[in-house]
Amino acid sequence: MAKGIFVTATDTGIGKTVISAGLAMAIRSRGIRVGVMKPVATGCFGERERLISADAVYLFEAAENEYAPLTSPIRFRNPVAPSIASVYEQKEVDLDAIRGAFGELQKHYDFIIVEGIGGLLVPIKKNYLVANLIREFALPLVIVSNISLGAINHTLLTVDAALIRGFKIKGIIFNRAPLVNYSLAEMTNPRVIHELTGIPILGVVPEIQELNVERCRFGSLKEVLMERINIDAILNGA
């Protein structure tokens, strides 16, 4: 089994990229060489053969990696599920390229952080979901969830889908918690979800105003995650 984690989420737009980048910086601060990967990226910009994923660049810069092609082997322009983008852009999802990039990263780094696309059941290609890729990589999960109203249902569905497939879950991170004026749902959701699932809560990350993925701005991301996330629990067993 590779040493690392697969970061998934309860939905798209939850903040997987920011959390993955912050974890990379926090783990690197312990002297561990961290490789990062966004195996399939959609919503990219640039020319057809030179598409750029802002998310992948953000991860690459956060981890200070050296092999950009390994970070983002498959890229599409349209911001849709990869299986759909593949059809409309007439470009196949090359699973062997993804597997090869992952294998190469393991040669160069001590700990690998893979950021998924959307949630567990997003189709990468016909009859091949994100969950299938997780099974191939054999990495434990870190689930990123919204903390507000609806988090209980969405998180339990994700946990259930993971456990049914036999995946190991390191824990749950709640993202974008308000700094003030918590709602009752925001105050109670982490505790309730832990009680219902038994899955460890790794921490709660507040809104960090100075963050900007598109402009590759990290602000206090590293310091916040070092303070608020249980990094030891993520590294335990690695």
Q: Mind listing the pLDDT tens digit for each residue in 7-42?
A: 999 999 999 999 999 999 999 999 999 999 999 999
Q: Which class does domain 4-233 fall in?
A: alpha beta
The pLDDT of residue 47: 82
Residue written as token pair 């089994």: 1
List the beta bridge partners of residue 1: none
Q: Is residue 195 packed enough to be buried (19+ CB in 10 Å), middle (13-18) or exposed (0-12)?
A: exposed
Mean pLDDT of 161-170: 98
Euclidean distance between CA atoms 20 and 41, whole angstroms: 14
Active-site residue identified among 38, 125, 170, 222: 38
Question: How many other C-beta atoms are found inside a 10 Å radius of the C-beta of residue 160?
Answer: 12
Ramachandran area for residue 195 (φ above 0: left; ψ -120 to 50: alpha; else beta): alpha
What is the sign of the dihedral through the CA atoms of 57, 60, 64 and 68?
A: negative
Q: How many CB atoms lie within 10 A of CB 231?
A: 17
Listed in sequence order, the residues at least 6 apart from 184 whose beta carbon sits closer than 8 Å to its beta carbon are none
Average pLDDT score over residue span 44-57: 92
What predicted TM-score, i.e. pTM, was given to this entire model?
0.97
| Token pair 């310091």 in the structure block, residue | 223
Backbone angles phi, psi at 90, to 5 degrees: 50, 50
Domain boundary assignment for the chain: 4-233
Mark whether 38 is an active-site residue. Answer: yes
